[in-house]
Structure 1
Amino acid sequence: MKIEYTNERDNALFERKEVCFEVDHEREATPGRNAVAEEIAKKYGTNRNLVVIEKMASEYGVGKSKGYAKVYANKKAALKYENGKLLKRNGIEDESKKAEAPADAAPAQE
């Protein structure tokens, strides 16, 4: 798997870098979001949990995928600006919501 970065933009307002990329996976299976996010995190020297892949689509019969990712400066910014479904798809969860869920779901004891 080889990643070529076609466009990079620094977005200071949202505390992130926006990246367009192409993944060359000739004669290999289409790589998953997690594998691609790890490679992007290595390039930018950041944690994998700060990379959100918004979209990634394969081209039929070519062995290439095009995508768009956002590399956040910190987790707080990612949680503030991204929607929950996209965060969940990328494996990024809010710990405060996780902590609240068991307390609400606990049945009353008699």
Structure 2
Amino acid sequence: MEIEIIEDRENVLLGRRELKFRVSHSGPTPRREEVRERLIALFNSSRDVLIVESLKPVFGVEQAVGYAKIYESPERLREVERDYVILRNFPPASEEAKEAEEAE
């Protein structure tokens, strides 16, 4: 999976960096979590400030285009982003996972 940045702009008013990107892949379209992890590594960002808003496959080729945002702080992210977008990027841990973490 390769990520190519199409547009990178700073949105000072909302305290974030906005990215439009293209993902080239083989096989099925990568999951949002996989793309998010790659973007975190690519921009040396923290996990709690990067949101992948959309990821749409391109018909006929093994590519997808997406839109991501990197906020200046987790607090700013929670102020600006809609709840359903936050849930897509930060899903609540399942009860079994919570119990396993507490046991350790």
What's the TM-score once normalised by structure 2's chain length?
0.82
Q: Of the two, which has the highest radius of gyration?
A: 1
- Give the structure 2 partner of residue 99 of structure 1: none
- Give the structure 1 partner of residue 28 of structure 2: 29
Structure 1 segments, 4+ long, off by >6 Å, are: none
Q: Deviations over 1:61-82 (max 9, x none)?
A: 2000001110111100100000
Distance 1:81 1:12 in 2: 13
- Give the structure 1 partner of residue 5 of structure 2: 5
Distance 2:28 2:7 in 1: 24
Distance 1:3 1:60 in 2: 18
Q: Give structure 1 stretches of 5+ with no counterpart.
A: 94-110
**Identical pairs, percent:** 30
Does the 8 Å contact 1:7/1:20 carry over to 2?
yes
Q: How far does residue 33 in structure 1 lie from its aligned partner after superposition?
A: 0.8
Q: Give structure 2 stretches of 5+ with no counterpart.
A: 93-104
Quick one: which amino acid aligns to residue 41 of structure 2?
K
Does the 8 Å contact 1:49/1:92 carry over to 2?
no
- Aligned length, in residue pairs: 92
Q: How far does residue 37 in structure 1 lie from its aligned partner after superposition?
A: 0.9
Question: SS of the residue aligned with 1:5?
Answer: strand
- Give the structure 2 partner of residue 83 of structure 1: 82
- Give the structure 2 partner of residue 69 of structure 1: 68
